[in-house]
Amino acid sequence: MGSDTYEMESVTANYRIEGLHSALRIKVHKRLELWERFVLSIGVSAFLAYFSFSFFGRWSIILALGAAILIFISVTGSSAQLYATRLEFVTTGNIGRRRGRSERVVCTADVQRLEFCDPAGQLSGLYAVTTKKSYCILPFVDYLQTMEVIRAIETKFPGLAERWRENAVAK
């Protein structure tokens, strides 16, 4: 019932692999760059000041400045979590098209392989490839981080890894 924990940090994202009794939990956090936080906070506050000026007059500048500071401090990045068992992959976090909080469940019986993918206009990261479609199950990780996560999953669930290798040989 021991728990193995690996924590990695890189330019792309910080991630942590936790070995649970019958599962793996992988948490990833991608920090926004300083300039991205700055542009977001200034852009939102300028928009707020422009539209609130007719209601609050010069007070709208103070309101906008407060909003800019609050946004700059509170918006730090995007996070996601993959909970992997021998039956399913459950991903929660910023994984949707609009990158809002959502959940995705992929049954391991449908998965032919795991791979790194960096499609144009979509999230890069760990994808579960099925016969119908590829699903991003862990965004924000780069190629090397993805390979580490795949190795951890294959080590924890050797039966899945064996089935994926058989699928690769059959093609």
pLDDT tens by residue, 85-132: 999 999 998 765 555 678 899 999 999 999 999 888 888 899 999 989
CA distance 113 to 129: 5
Whether 93 and 156 map to the same domain: the answer is yes
Q: Average pLDDT of 54-58?
A: 81
Please check whether residues 67 and 44 belong to one and the same domain. Answer: yes
Domain final position from 74, 98, 131: 74
One DSSP character per residue, 92-148 reads EEE-STT--EEEEEEEGGGEEEEEEE--TTS--EEEEEESS-EEEEEET--HHHHHH
Cα atoms in the 13 Å half-sphere on the side-chain side of 60 = 15
Band (10; pLDDT cuts 50, 70, 90): very low
* Beta pairing partners, 5: 18
In the block, residue with structure tokens 């399913």 = 88
For residue 64, give every residue at least 6 positions away whose Cβ sits within 8 Å of its Cβ, in sequence order, or none.
45, 46, 48, 49, 52
Choice between 37 and 146, residue whose per-residue pLDDT is larger: 146
> What mean pLDDT value characterizes the chain?
84
- For the segment 148-154, the average pLDDT, to the nearest whole number, is 94
Contact 115, 170 (CB under 8 A): no
Banded pLDDT at 4 (limits 50, 70, 90):
low
CATH label of the domain that carries residue 88: 2.30.29
Q: Are 85 and 25 found together in one domain?
A: yes
